[in-house]
Structure 1
Amino acid sequence: MSKIIALLSKKNYKLTTPERLKIGLYLTGATSLLLLIAIISAVQGQRHAIATVGENSTPSIVTAQRLKDAFTGMDANVADELLVPPGQNQDAVKGYEERYQRAAERLVTAAENISYADKERKPIQTMQLGLGNYIAQIQQARDFHARGDTNAMLVAYRASAELMDKTLLPAADELDKVNIQILEETYTKQKAVANNSSILIFVAGAALLIVLIGIQIFLSQKMRRTLNPMLLAATAIALALLTHTTGTLQTAAENLRTAKEDAFNSMHILRQARAAAYIANTAESRYLLDPAFATTYEQAFFSNIAQIAQIPQGQTAETIASAYNSQGKNIDGFKGYIADELNNITFPGEKEATLLSLVTLGKYLAIDQQIRLLERSGKHQDAIALCVGKKPGQSNWLFEEFKKANGKTFDINQAVFDREIQQGLSNIDGFEIKTAIAVSTVVLLSFFGLLPRLKEYSN
């Protein structure tokens, strides 16, 4: 600053005082414009990132996972229906219809929220066509089941299962993958852009303040005048704008970070765990329905359970939950979605609900072992009764309890996610207009503050 003032005050400097004041005014306008551009660019980038995470990608990701729930729920219910004589499992019939209704609704939701053209459109179209074919195969299986033709029923059901496993679920995964990739890319890019924008805003703001303060000092030393009130007001507004902008962008960035890293990451983990649980529950019923492929379905069951919670040898779900409560950390070797969620606990009630889902899963696995023991002992009907039963202590009842605990954890994170996204957007709402007004005010105050001094030399 002292060097600038010294340069302007040199006796051999060729510019006149009015010319120097005009240069100061031009510099004020230039640095103000640079600051305006920097702030608007940063705000728009932040808004785009928040909108991508909160309004474009995340709803599609959650919808994709819920479609998997609906599809596998349909399949599990129809398998339970086919396990018993026709008409004897109306709960399964009702459950199938409910899951089908959810699938239809979510396909419409997914189609209405297309943000990335064919990347989303193609998997949605695949699911729409595949669902129609799946329903046709299921109806054939039901018809053969009603006629008592078990072999034909199994052939039709296998065809439907292949559509489920090789068309519907992969398409839902593709929809999830597309949006996850865009979300992660946008979030990572925005963090880098935000850092660069902060530097540019600081540089532009500092330059503007230096110019305004330099003009004040020049006027005071060269013209022996007290501080110019309008320039003083312009300086105060510039400083307030710089401080307010920095704070607002930092707050919005924290809103986005909380929504993405604390809430959304958990939401995605929980939806993946729920989908894997649905697939496992379906595989359990298939194991009893189609003995020819029992080994394949058994492997599918344990593979999906391991994705949810891989419990190390010598431990149980209960001992791991107890250790987490007492030690506050996971047991070595404990992996899976639940372990990942326990490593991302942030909000009140989240830990308790997650541990409840773990304990419930452990009880569900214990019942599954009973089902397989009954089946291997030749007690097929007893195994079916335990598998499709919804009374306390039976398999489907425990599956529902797991879903409740999982859903409670998800709802906790969803509430925070929605709040942070809305708060982040609210924080920067209309910020471009406010910035333009503030910068224009700085320029006008500077102009009118220097105008009387310039007129003195024109007279």
Structure 2
Amino acid sequence: MTAVQPAPAAQPVSPRPGSPAPVRPGGTYGRGVRRPSPPLSERRRRTPVPRTVAGRVRALTGAVVVALAALVAVTAVTVGNARDGVRVIGHDAGPQVVATGNLYFHLTQMDAQLANALLIGNTADLGTRRSDALARFDQSRLAAGDALLRAAKLADEPTEERTARESLNALARYERLAGQALLLDERAAHRAGPPPGDVIAIYRQATDLMKLDLLPKAYNLTLDNGTLVRTTYESERRAVLAGQFWVIVLGLVALGLLVLLQLFLYRRFRRMLNPALAGVTAATVILLVASSAMLVGQLDHLRTAKTDGFDSILALSRARAISTSANADQTRYLLDPGRADTYEQVYLSKSQSVLYRPEGSNVDRYNAAIQRDLADGDIVRSRFLGFLGREAEHNMLPGHLNAFDDVLETYRMFQQSDARVRQLARARQQDAAIEARLGGDRSSDRVFAQYDAAMQRLIAIHGRAFDDAVKKGDDGTRGWDVGLPIAGLVLIGLVLAGVRPRLAEYR
């Protein structure tokens, strides 16, 4: 029987140069053989740009959803910036500045009434009695203490808290010196006129403490918080303007994508109208218009609260306090002959800060300029500088024009009465000068009361403008923090609901 030899094993055949690698069953390449790169045309077909109708619908839908989400997010951030601006100006630093501004006035009023009480002495037949001056002194003392406590509570910086505490301590020292001066003056029982020298010495300590310590600290509190209000206003205003720009841009982008999506669906599916997407488009237009109008309104409310309200209240409160201090300088002029020239120059400096006249190099020339420019009632506001000169720019508020004219007229009368007091004092008619200062309805002190009342009416007009702007600012953003997320979810849900039936056709 012949043995059958097995067939020799097949030897692997090396591929020829340039020939493709052998393929195993199943279409796989041999081990160790690198798969060649696909042709360039095939790689181009694998780019991320969708090639199918369903892919393009999904891509456009995703772009619309992202644009709507960005629109809602940017609007929410911008509304928050506007709300922060109204909060700082209307509820935080703004009221604190007003409180410290009132503090400055009450402190000057305290010193003015102390000077009046010492000048009156035990004379009972003047138009202003010593008891009346002391009653107003106590009233201003309580008001100053309340304003200091409020400023201390509102202080949110270590420097502000320290200044408030130091002011409280300085006020206590001033009250102690004032009490000593009043007690010595009461024991002296002098007639109207300069008190004894020991009384004047203590009063000088008290008024120097007021002018060199208390009033600068009160002004620093006002200045710090006023700076915070101004920087907050500028930063929030810029943020709202930038947000308004991006709201408009994103709104237009979202609308453009919505229109593009609907046109694509119309061309591919021959559907004239997609109700859900049409509703989203209309709602986006409404959202864009409403948010833009709201932001424009918030910018206007911020400007009104800051410019017509806060700035004017602060300036006029400062002018009122300086005027009160100048009114006290009239009394000090008669009370302390040793410092009469100093008090006259200080009075002129304070008057110039309230209403500046370049030709007023001394009190007589200043009074002549005021009488010449204000007596005929033809007020040319461009001539004036100082606190009242800047106030002339706010003549668009209701009632402002008449109130401002009353302030200028009573200020003219006050300067006229001051000139009369000084003329009598220079003529050595001391009793007549004191009578012109504190006695009767035509006294300088009574005329100043009319001027101060007119100033308060003008401040009240700006106070109402401030409160109204803050209220409108609060109302303008109310509900947006809740409504915006809901609106965004609804819009995105409608977009998905609008394209879902079209995508279902490809399943």
TM over 0.5: yes
> Deviation of residue 312 (structure 1)?
5.4
Amino acid at match of 1:412: I
User: Using the alignment, how far apart are the partners of 1:110 and 1:271 within structure 2?
Assistant: 16
Alignment of 1:296-335 (within 5 A): 296-311=342-357, 313=359, 315-317=369-371, 319-320=373-374, 322=376, 324=378, 329-330=380-381, 332=383, 334-335=384-385
CA deviations 1:29-68 (Å, max 9, x no partner) are: 2112211111011100001111111111221121112111
User: Using the alignment, how far apart are the partners of 1:40 and 1:324 within structure 2?
Assistant: 51
SS where residue 316 of structure 1 aligns? Answer: helix
CA distance 1:220–1:322, change in 2 (3 Å): farther
Alignment of 1:266-415 (within 5 A): 266-311=312-357, 313=359, 315-317=369-371, 319-320=373-374, 322=376, 324=378, 329-330=380-381, 332=383, 334-389=384-439, 391-415=440-464
Q: Which residue of structure 1 lines up, in the alignment, with residue 281 of structure 2?
A: 235
Q: Which residue of structure 2 lines up, in the alignment, with residue 118 of structure 1?
A: 158
- Structure 2 gap segments, 5+ residues each: 1-47, 125-129, 189-194, 360-367
CA distance 1:62–1:369, change in 2 (3 Å): same
Alignment of 1:108-257 (within 5 A): 108-114=149-155, 116-148=156-188, 150-257=196-303
CA distance 1:318–1:445, change in 2 (3 Å): farther
Q: Which residue of structure 1 lines up, in the alignment, with residue 26 of structure 2?
A: none
Amino acid at match of 2:453: K
User: Using the alignment, how far apart are the partners of 2:232 and 2:480 within structure 1?
Assistant: 21
Which of 122, 144, 153 pairs up with 1:103?
A: 144
CA distance 1:331–1:193, change in 2 (3 Å): closer
Which of 463, 469, 482 pairs up with 1:433?
A: 482
User: Using the alignment, how far apart are the partners of 2:281 and 2:378 within structure 1?
Assistant: 55
CA deviations 1:109-146 (Å, max 9, x no partner) are: 222333x4224323222221111010001111112212
Is 1:67 the counterpart of 2:103? The answer is: yes
User: Using the alignment, how far apart are the partners of 1:66 and 1:322 within structure 2?
Assistant: 33
Contact 2:394/2:400 (8 A) holds in 1:
no
User: Using the alignment, how far apart are the partners of 2:258 and 2:120 within structure 1?
Assistant: 85
Instruction: Pick which of 346-355 and 89-98 moved more.
Output: 346-355
CA distance 1:83–1:26, change in 2 (3 Å): same
Amino acid at match of 1:423: K
Amino acid at match of 1:39: T
CA distance 1:380–1:14, change in 2 (3 Å): closer
SS where residue 280 of structure 1 aligns? Answer: helix
Amino acid at match of 2:166: T
Is 1:18 the counterpart of 2:64? The answer is: no
Which of 481, 484, 492 pairs up with 1:443?
A: 492
- Structure 1 gap segments, 5+ residues each: 1-11
Amino acid at match of 1:265: D
User: Using the alignment, how far apart are the partners of 1:14 and 1:305 within structure 2?
Assistant: 78
> Deviation of residue 324 (structure 1)?
4.2
> Deviation of residue 221 (structure 1)?
0.6
Aligned alpha-carbon RMSD (Å) = 1.9
User: Using the alignment, how far apart are the partners of 2:136 and 2:197 within structure 1?
Assistant: 24
Contact 1:323/1:331 (8 A) holds in 2:
no
User: Using the alignment, how far apart are the partners of 1:381 and 1:47 within structure 2?
Assistant: 60
Larger radius of gyration: 2
SS where residue 441 of structure 2 aligns? Answer: coil
SS where residue 97 of structure 1 aligns? Answer: helix
User: Using the alignment, how far apart are the partners of 2:111 and 2:468 within structure 1?
Assistant: 35
CA distance 1:294–1:446, change in 2 (3 Å): same
CA distance 1:41–1:322, change in 2 (3 Å): farther
Q: From the two aligned structures, give the one with the greater helix fraction.
A: 1
User: Using the alignment, how far apart are the partners of 1:321 and 1:349 within structure 2?
Assistant: 21
Amino acid at match of 1:337: F
Amino acid at match of 2:415: L
Contact 1:61/1:179 (8 A) holds in 2:
yes
User: Using the alignment, how far apart are the partners of 2:282 and 2:52 within structure 1?
Assistant: 28
Contact 2:371/2:416 (8 A) holds in 1:
no
Contact 1:321/1:358 (8 A) holds in 2:
no
User: Using the alignment, how far apart are the partners of 1:379 and 1:320 within structure 2?
Assistant: 29
Amino acid at match of 2:180: Q
Contact 1:238/1:438 (8 A) holds in 2:
no
> Deviation of residue 13 (structure 1)?
6.4
Is 1:78 the counterpart of 2:114? The answer is: yes
CA distance 1:109–1:424, change in 2 (3 Å): same
Contact 2:50/2:56 (8 A) holds in 1:
no
CA distance 1:47–1:166, change in 2 (3 Å): same
SS where residue 457 of structure 1 aligns? Answer: coil
Q: Which residue of structure 1 lines up, in the alignment, with residue 30 of structure 2?
A: none
> Deviation of residue 322 (structure 1)?
4.1
CA deviations 1:397-420 (Å, max 9, x no partner) are: 011101110011111111111011
User: Using the alignment, how far apart are the partners of 1:79 and 1:388 within structure 2?
Assistant: 11
User: Using the alignment, how far apart are the partners of 1:177 and 1:411 within structure 2?
Assistant: 22
Contact 2:105/2:318 (8 A) holds in 1:
no
Q: Percent of counterpart pairs with the same letter? A: 27
> Deviation of residue 269 (structure 1)?
2.2
How many residue pairs are counted as aligned between the two chains?
441
> Deviation of residue 346 (structure 1)?
1.7
CA deviations 1:411-432 (Å, max 9, x no partner) are: 1111111011101110111212
> Deviation of residue 331 (structure 1)?
5.4
SS where residue 185 of structure 2 aligns? Answer: helix
SS where residue 381 of structure 2 aligns? Answer: coil
Which of 108, 132, 156 pairs up with 1:91?
A: 132
Contact 1:267/1:410 (8 A) holds in 2:
yes
Amino acid at match of 1:354: F
User: Using the alignment, how far apart are the partners of 1:416 and 1:13 within structure 2?
Assistant: 58
User: Using the alignment, how far apart are the partners of 1:373 and 1:240 within structure 2?
Assistant: 71
User: Using the alignment, how far apart are the partners of 1:433 and 1:87 within structure 2?
Assistant: 69
User: Using the alignment, how far apart are the partners of 1:348 and 1:238 within structure 2?
Assistant: 38
Contact 1:311/1:317 (8 A) holds in 2:
no
